[in-house]
Homo-oligomer: A and B are copies of this chain.
Amino acid sequence: MPLNGLNLIGGRTLESGKTFRAVNPATSQHLEPPFHEATLDQVDQAMKQAEAAFVEYRAKSPKERAAFLEAIAAAISTNDELVDRAGQESGLPQARLQGERGRTVGQLRMFAKLIEDGSWVDARIDHADPARKPVPKPDTRRMLIPLGPVAIFAASNFPLAFSIAGGDTASALAAGCTVVLKTHPGHPGASELAAAIIAQAAASTGMPAGVFSMLHARDYAIAIALVKHPLCRAVGFTGSLKGGRALFDAAASRPDPIPVYAEMGSFNPVFILPGAMAERGKQIAEGLKASVTMGTGQFCTNPGVVLGLEGDSSRAFLEHAAASFVEAPPATMLYSGLRDSYEAGAARVKKVAGVRVVAESKTPASAAQTQVGAKLFATDAKTFLSQPSLHEEVFGPATIFVSGSSTEELEKIAAGLEGNLTATLHGTEKDLQDHRKLVAILERKVGRLLFNGFPTGVEVCPSMQHGGPYPATTDSRTTSVGTAAIDRFARPICYQDFPQAALPDELKDANPRGIWRIVDGQRKQREG
């Protein structure tokens, strides 16, 4: 399909005066066609269409909404052009993108299944008791309903799974919200292809055209206008701390504040406890290198700091890790801006007195291919504790090993950490028992705690928590991965003393949808 470079608003394509072009980071070549940047008026149009469509869309049955999500999934699963273009625009290898396509399709189908099942609405029924003293008890029934039109901001690092038809869009559409999506300018072509798929799926399954709109924008003012638009009811975002915080601040300063679900950077500390360090330091070193360099380190869950106790085992571990990092081939980053940030961040770390460069990819990085090498730094706990600049995420394939002189020193570092998406412990079971205090400290800092694994590779399932205390996200009560991501786009409503016929099916006595509910305090699937 030839790309048109236009914005997509309520099923219509719109141009503007101002354009930009995508760049293939692996060649530094500009790609065709030029893409039109949305205007403020187009933001308004898209939001108004989303509002008009919401009235119709939220009245669709869960089965109809599921069919819409399934249609998107089916079309993406066979669209190789999408994967090709995402590769050209991101420099990510095709195998990785095929995997990411599988994940994208899987997410859409997971949410389709979730809403067909229907129990996610958390239905609760308390029957009336007219005889209760001193006052009769009314009949009350509660379930989740969609928030309204929402704005989603696509991420750069997952051009499929956290972008146009990614997890945020899938969960918002599943909840019954309509979506206005701002593309990431790193992959506008892949965005257009995915948006066209959504628009076509909407048409073929009878959804209103305004259910999904897509705007290209590089201008900060467009992003803020979306968040500030009176009709916007919530915001989903994956990206930098600076970007996420700006959207949060804009939303909080509205006359009517709205929630912002920003999943931002994270440091993802990895603690190697003494037993594991002695038993299998070499194996952990190899796993660490694989995790740090995976996808050129461009994951929110990339392990940015590794901690262990000083001693012979740690020295051996670091030697193994160094040997492994040296062999890591340089790799292409998503765009030159990220490469520049990575190099600047690495230079900042290197400059700190007490930090040494343990290893760097030995093969030189190619500037024309927007490549960077892997980097392994090391320092001691005292330096790390005293240098706030070492606590900033360096987005890319770099990590720093911090050696502490005692468990207490490691606990002190843990206690001083800001919020993170993850923390990891490598240890024997005895290590874990001996470090209960460290575990208790880390529980307060993160959304996910791993044992003997690596944080990269986030499983998509009901029990996943991809979130964490600020600055990992702006709302630690939510997740952007897994079935619970749908909860971000819904709120409860209670119907009091409503006649059966006027209640949503989910709340009728007969339970026609067969969902799990809490009825008079008891969890039940069927009545009787």
Residues in chain A within 8 A of chain B (CB atoms): 55, 59, 99, 119, 124-126, 134-135, 137-138, 140-142, 145, 147-148, 248-249, 252-253, 256-259, 418-419, 429, 432-433, 439-440, 443-444, 446-453, 457, 459, 461-465, 467, 469-471, 474-477, 479, 484, 487, 490-499, 501-502, 516, 518, 521, 523, 525
Contact = CB atoms under 8 A, between A and B. Distances in A.
A63 to B, nearest CB: 19
Contacts of A256: 418-419, 469-471
A140 B479 CA distance: 14
Nearest to A500: B429
A307 B3 CA distance: 53
Contacts of A126: 459, 461-464
B252 A465 contact: no
Given A429-B499, A449-B498, A465-B142, A135 B457 contact: yes
A124 B492 contact: no
A157 to B, nearest CB: 18
A369 B515 CA distance: 54
Contacts of A516: 523
A364 to B, nearest CB: 31
A497 B429 CA distance: 12
18 contacts: A55-B440, A126-B459, A126-B463, A135-B457, A142-B464, A142-B465, A259-B477, A443-B493, A448-B493, A449-B495, A450-B496, A451-B497, A453-B496, A459-B496, A465-B492, A465-B494, A477-B492, A523-B523
B498 A451 contact: yes
B491 A449 contact: no
A484 B492 contact: yes
B141 A502 contact: no
Given A252-B252, A464-B140, A447 B479 contact: no
Q: Which residue, A125, A443, A492, A494, has most C-beta atoms of chain B within 10 A?
A: A494
Given A432-B499, A448-B496, A459 B523 contact: no
A459 B493 contact: no
A494 B463 contact: yes
Q: Which residue, A119, A501, A518, has most C-beta atoms of chain B within 10 A?
A: A518
A138 B454 CA distance: 11
Given A126-B461, A453-B496, A470-B257, A432 B502 contact: yes
A19 to B, nearest CB: 36
A405 to B, nearest CB: 24
Contact of A138 (B124, B453, B477): B453
A124 B464 CA distance: 9
A459 B140 contact: yes
A164 to B, nearest CB: 24
A493 B444 CA distance: 9
A275 to B, nearest CB: 13
Contacts of A138: 453, 459
Contact of A493 (B142, B249, B447): B447
Given A248-B257, A470-B256, A476-B491, A499 B451 contact: yes
Contact of A449 (B464, B471, B477, B496): B496
B502 A433 contact: yes
